[in-house]
Chains A and B, each alone.
Chain A
Amino acid sequence: MPLAQTSTIVPVVIDDALCIADKGCTVCVDVCPLDVLRIVEGPDGSPVTAHMKYDECWYCMPCEADCPTGAVTVNLPFLLK
């Protein structure tokens, strides 16, 4: 699977201001059937925010639907809309 180069060009974008991974949330990571989301850790190993680690997506949407703070946006490609 190709590694995502930057978090801005991948289909799933996380709003860091809304993400509560630092409080222990891992919902989006847990529900993703492709296992492409991860929690970014700070230098001390503590969770900071979620991000898309692998640039691969089924556009199945549970990450966006289940995020408790509405931090996840899945950008559907034009042909899927």
Chain B
Amino acid sequence: MNALFEDFDEIAELAEGLDDASPGTRIMAVMELANSADPAAIAHLARAISDADAGVRKQAALALTAFDGPETAAALVSALTDSDPAVIEAAALSLTELKDPEAGDAILPHLGDTDTVKLTACFAGIKELRRTEAMGAAITALKHEDAGVRIGAVGVIGWLQDEGSLPALRDAAKDVDTNVRRTALAALGFSKSEHAEATLIAALNDPEWLVREAAAETLAKVGGAKCVTALRIALEDEFWQVRLKAVRSLGKMNAVEAALEIAPMMDLLIPNLRKECAAVLGEMAAPETRPYLEKYVDDTDPDVRKNVRWALGKIDAQ
């Protein structure tokens, strides 16, 4: 008998457990089918996803993470309307593990679905598959009443990295929901356009610090003189988390002109911020920042003193 038939027999044998009267035995069969890593198991797991027992269905949804492709995706999408929330959660999680773009074939027809949970899971699942056909549905979903759906839609648009979607992302950056705005700003990072830059700079004045933080972080990717000016202003944000991201971004952009504004921040009592400032000052290696760093060469915080010593070494190596 050739190897293919032997494998087939083995999978068929394992699948027999799915017909056992005991749910425990069916769960074991599901786990063994997943462990086989044989694509022939997908069809059996797809059957188990509509088992009478919710525990078996949940295990089948989790087990499908071992596989990929349209058949796996179709089985997972079918589980998104399960009566048991635990099964839906497992299927939604497994959908995000898909990597094969062809798996999107089974998800695309559901991007106009009215079920909020299903729609959110489908957007999350198709995001990394980068299917351009999902763009239209994602842009439409930016007007969905549910913030989770809107975040999923922004995720899809962000992964597609299409300059044509910039107006949609700019609208999403003004969404009423904080997390939609944050996600939209992070998604703008792929673009080097003036529009993306202007949207990110404007977001540095958002009333929510989480949004300002996302804008400060993403500005490093966009680059440009205007971004440096805006980030220098953000160094005075009332939230240290925003200041930290502004420092980091200025470091990534090697904005040495901001070194003397970053250096005095070493005197603040926020260890994370001081650690970041020391690292960035080391990258900039501006000799005029040496006195600010020297004060902390024996700092009580080991991370701060490590970065300070490294930074002084970089300045000395100039």
Using CB atoms and an 8 Å cutoff, list the residues of chain A in contact with chain B: 20, 22-25, 27, 68-70
A68-B31, A68-B59 are known; give 17 further A-B pairs, CB within 8 A. A20-B24, A20-B25, A22-B24, A23-B24, A23-B25, A23-B28, A25-B24, A25-B27, A25-B31, A27-B31, A68-B27, A68-B55, A68-B58, A69-B24, A69-B27, A69-B55, A70-B55
Question: A-B pairs with the 7 shortest C-beta distances?
Answer: A20-B24, A23-B24, A23-B28, A68-B27, A68-B59, A23-B25, A24-B28
Q: Which residues of B contact A20 (CB under 8 A)?
A: 24-25, 27-28
How far apart sit A25 and B56, CA to CA, in the bound complex (Å)?
14
Q: Which residues of A contact B114 (CB under 8 A)?
A: none
User: Does any Cβ of A come within 8 Å of B300's Cβ?
Assistant: no
**Set B27, B55, B58, B59: member contacting A23, Cβ < 8 A:** B27
**For chains A and B in complex, what number of residue pairs have CB atoms within 8 angstroms?**
25
Min CB distance A4 to B, Å, is 25
Q: Which residues of A contact B22 (CB under 8 A)?
A: 23
Q: Which residues of B contact A25 (CB under 8 A)?
A: 24, 27-28, 31
- Size category of the B interface is under 10
Can you pick out 14 interface pairs between chain A and chain B where the beta carbons lie within 8 Å of each other? Answer: A20-B24, A20-B27, A20-B28, A23-B22, A23-B24, A24-B28, A25-B24, A25-B28, A25-B31, A27-B31, A68-B27, A68-B55, A68-B58, A69-B24
Interface of B, secondary structure class, is helix
How far apart sit A23 and B21, CA to CA, in the bound complex (Å)?
12
Q: Which residues of A contact B55 (CB under 8 A)?
A: 68-70
Q: Which residues of B contact A22 (CB under 8 A)?
A: 24
How far apart sit A66 and B31, CA to CA, in the bound complex (Å)?
12
Contact flags B21-39 to A (C-beta < 8 A → 1, else 0): 0101101100100000000
How far apart sit A70 and B59, CA to CA, in the bound complex (Å)?
11
B59, closest chain A residue (CB): A68
Min CB distance A63 to B, Å, is 15
Residues of B8-31 whose CB lies within 8 A of A: 22, 24-25, 27-28, 31
Q: Which residues of A contact B28 (CB under 8 A)?
A: 20, 23-25
How far apart sit A19 and B28, CA to CA, in the bound complex (Å)?
12
How far apart sit A22 and B31, CA to CA, in the bound complex (Å)?
15
How far apart sit A22 and B27, CA to CA, in the bound complex (Å)?
12
How far apart sit A69 and B28, CA to CA, in the bound complex (Å)?
11
Q: Which residues of B contact A69 (CB under 8 A)?
A: 24, 27, 55
How far apart sit A69 and B22, CA to CA, in the bound complex (Å)?
13
Q: Which residues of A contact B31 (CB under 8 A)?
A: 25, 27, 68
